[in-house]
Structure 1
Amino acid sequence: MRAIRLEEPRHFVHVDVPFPEAPGRGQALVRTHRMGICGTDLAGFLGKMPFFRYPRIPGHELGVEVLAVGPGVTQVKTGDRCSVEPYMNCGECYACRHERGNCCERLNVIGVMVDGGLCEQFLIRADKLHPSEVLSYEQLALVETLAIGCHATDRGAPVKGERALIIGAGPIGLSVLEFTRLTGAEVTVMDMNEDRLRFCREVYGVPHTILFRGDGSELEEMRRMTNGDRFAVVTDATGSNRSMANALHFVAQTGRLVYVGITTGEVTFPHPWMHRPEATMLASRNAMPGDFRRIIGLIEDGTINTGPWITHHVEYNDLVRDFEMFTRPETGAIKAIVHVTA
């Protein structure tokens, strides 16, 4: 069957791989209909994703159809449309024993550490499938991105009336925005790209945005809009080690800083930047199973509108040719969806 593999940074190839065998106990055979291109895929293409292993068939933001199920599978059935929870945890390590499989010591994320869904069919643990009778394959492919933001928001735990700053208005930053706004916190978004900030204002009604110029003006704007208090919760979704280090400047006394972006660089800062405000620093990795179920419900009832997210569509046969353009900010892509099969 056909598949696309990233052999090494910046080098995609079309390959022919064997069709999967029949699903075993606890497994499901699925067909990929839609795949979302996310920052992890772009960073893997550029050689900047620390967890990416080459060569690799990418694809972890997926809308799939169940073709067959193995013995013991009851949570999905043939014909179900599903979102994929791509985090293959071991079930045995400390994190798994404490119901935190998102950061399993032996975690394998499909499309990143093991082959993913940029192919016609693949086998997966059936417990990693989250069905919906209502959502389209495109909507289901967006659930994983939204889950990242859901979990990151839970880590920072903003509450109504607090000021929350989201640094970076790419797909992950927007997913944090989706869930931070539901808490009732007062949201501000900062980015280097004025078009992305305009999107936040016009689509999400974000009242406060800050254009990052790197000349200190962003700090002055922050002090003005918070009356010098800074932000109770700051979430950095940039993946830039410089931004991640500087983010402490925006954290209020006793505030929380959440790192959801990933970098291969070192994040360094003078210790007093963290110690003086008694700041709490948190990492956020992947998402929880309950996040997927919650998000599917929120899209189904209209609380989350996925329409504005999808800015580009790519046919499977054009992906190798077109993929590089999504690494360029001027392309204006928020989320590109690959049509893997009809």
Structure 2
Amino acid sequence: MNPYLACGECIACRSGKPNCCERVQVLGVHTDGGMCEQLVVPASNLIAAGDLALRDAAMVEFLAIGAHAVRRSNMSKGPALVIGAGPIGLGVAIFAKIAGLDITLADVSAERIEQATKVLGFGSGVLVGDAGAAKRVRAINADGYGVVFDATGSSRSIMDGFEHVAHGGTYVLVSVVKDDITFSDPEFHKREMSLLGSRNATAEDFEHVIASISAGLIPLDSLATHETTLDEVSNDLPRWAKDKKGLIKALVRI
């Protein structure tokens, strides 16, 4: 079995042309076509998944988003805070752990925190979303975190996250929101922090994910929690949208 993956980058990215990411068009997101029966894409946009099983290959793309965010941070040691324990946040946490960072996960859902810390093996988890959240996050690392990743999709969470970055640390915004983001400029400069945006993934990130799966570093059995078929997907997806208990990643088997 030799499945292929459609990479999230455009042709121009591979050629090294500047500003090419402004022209990225994702089928089913920016343009129609996500549910069509056949796709025709340039061969240069395909990445060989080697000997990965179809289920494992289907997990590569979302994990590559987390791998890309960690690579963007350029951090390989010290404490890291990942805010948001959904699929993207878990992908960030997994690759931050692979990179050698000491992970703390924060989320508004106690179930997600428990699932991540027990099932996926992350050391620390913090429940946030109330008035005492900041104090609990600081209790783990009083001096802040060398790198903070936000994967919540919440503008309020993104703005609150600035206070958790250590002096000289890096804040990586993985989630995208339509709102304006504001922060205290004096505090930002006092800490000399770096602010990074992370979008999609590149071929290098896809290859890193595939190699990590092949090396047994990714707990795919714990991540792939739900599965359905094409015949049942119209019933299952609406139900899972309401009942998310235990849900991390749902797959549609062809």
1:147 paired to 2:68: no
1:97 paired to 2:97: no
**Aligned in 2, Cα 1:105/1:147: closer, same or farther, shift over 3 Å?**
same
Deviation of the 1:90 alpha carbon: 4.0
1:338 paired to 2:218: no
State the partner residue of 2:115.
Answer: 199
**Aligned in 2, Cα 1:327/1:276: closer, same or farther, shift over 3 Å?**
farther
Deviation of the 1:243 alpha carbon: 0.3
State the partner residue of 1:113.
Answer: 30
Residues 2 and 52 of structure 2 are in contact (CA less than 8 Å); yes or no, is this contact kept in structure 1?
A: no
**Aligned in 2, Cα 1:88/1:116: closer, same or farther, shift over 3 Å?**
farther
* Greater Rg by CA: 1
Q: Distance in 1 between matches of 2:101 and 2:13?
A: 35
Uncovered stretches (5+) of structure 2, i.e. residues with no partner: none
Question: Which SS does the other structure have where 1:320 is aligned?
Answer: helix
Question: Which SS does the other structure have where 2:39 is aligned?
Answer: strand
State the partner residue of 1:299.
Answer: 213
Residues 66 and 92 of structure 2 are in contact (CA less than 8 Å); yes or no, is this contact kept in structure 1?
A: yes
Residues 145 and 164 of structure 2 are in contact (CA less than 8 Å); yes or no, is this contact kept in structure 1?
A: yes
Q: Distance in 2 between matches of 1:275 and 1:326?
A: 44
Counterpart of 2:201, as a letter, is A
Residues 231-272 of structure 1: CA distance to partner in whole angstroms, max 9, x if unpaired?
A: 110000001011011110111111110000011222222323
Pick from 56, 79, 92: which aligns with 1:176? Answer: 92
Residues 141-190 of structure 1: CA distance to partner in whole angstroms, max 9, x if unpaired?
A: 11011110001001112222x11000000010011011100122111000
Q: Distance in 2 between matches of 1:294 and 1:165?
A: 22
Q: Distance in 2 between matches of 1:115 and 1:140?
A: 23
Residues 128 and 134 of structure 2 are in contact (CA less than 8 Å); yes or no, is this contact kept in structure 1?
A: no
Note the 1:61-76 alignment, pairs <5 A.
none
**Aligned in 2, Cα 1:273/1:317: closer, same or farther, shift over 3 Å?**
farther
Q: Distance in 2 between matches of 1:97 and 1:239?
A: 29
The root-mean-square deviation of aligned C-alpha atoms, in Å, is: 2.1
Q: Distance in 1 between matches of 2:139 and 2:39?
A: 53
Uncovered stretches (5+) of structure 1, i.e. residues with no partner: 1-78
Residues 166 and 235 of structure 1 are in contact (CA less than 8 Å); yes or no, is this contact kept in structure 2?
A: yes
Residues 153 and 179 of structure 1 are in contact (CA less than 8 Å); yes or no, is this contact kept in structure 2?
A: yes
Q: How many residues align?
A: 254
State the partner residue of 2:241.
Answer: 327
Q: Distance in 1 between matches of 2:167 and 2:13?
A: 38
Residues 212-237 of structure 1: CA distance to partner in whole angstroms, max 9, x if unpaired?
A: 0321x2222222221x2011100000
Higher helix proportion:
2
Q: What TM-score do the two structures reach when normalised by structure 2?
A: 0.91
Residues 8 and 200 of structure 2 are in contact (CA less than 8 Å); yes or no, is this contact kept in structure 1?
A: no
State the partner residue of 1:257.
Answer: 171
What percent identity do the matched residue pairs reach? 33
Question: Which SS does the other structure have where 1:166 is aligned?
Answer: strand
State the partner residue of 2:45.
Answer: 128
Question: Which SS does the other structure have where 1:108 is aligned?
Answer: coil
Note the 1:237-316 alignment, pairs <5 A.
237-316=151-230
Question: Which SS does the other structure have where 2:22 is aligned?
Answer: coil
**Aligned in 2, Cα 1:91/1:133: closer, same or farther, shift over 3 Å?**
closer
Return 201-210 or 264-273, whichever deviates more.
Answer: 264-273
Residues 84 and 105 of structure 2 are in contact (CA less than 8 Å); yes or no, is this contact kept in structure 1?
A: yes
Residues 187 and 207 of structure 1 are in contact (CA less than 8 Å); yes or no, is this contact kept in structure 2?
A: yes
Deviation of the 1:117 alpha carbon: 4.5
State the partner residue of 1:223.
Answer: 138
Question: Which SS does the other structure have where 2:169 is aligned?
Answer: strand
Deviation of the 1:279 alpha carbon: 1.3
**Aligned in 2, Cα 1:201/1:188: closer, same or farther, shift over 3 Å?**
same
Residues 9 and 202 of structure 2 are in contact (CA less than 8 Å); yes or no, is this contact kept in structure 1?
A: no
Deviation of the 1:91 alpha carbon: 5.5
Deviation of the 1:83 alpha carbon: 1.9
Residues 11 and 45 of structure 2 are in contact (CA less than 8 Å); yes or no, is this contact kept in structure 1?
A: no
Q: Distance in 2 between matches of 1:119 and 1:331?
A: 30
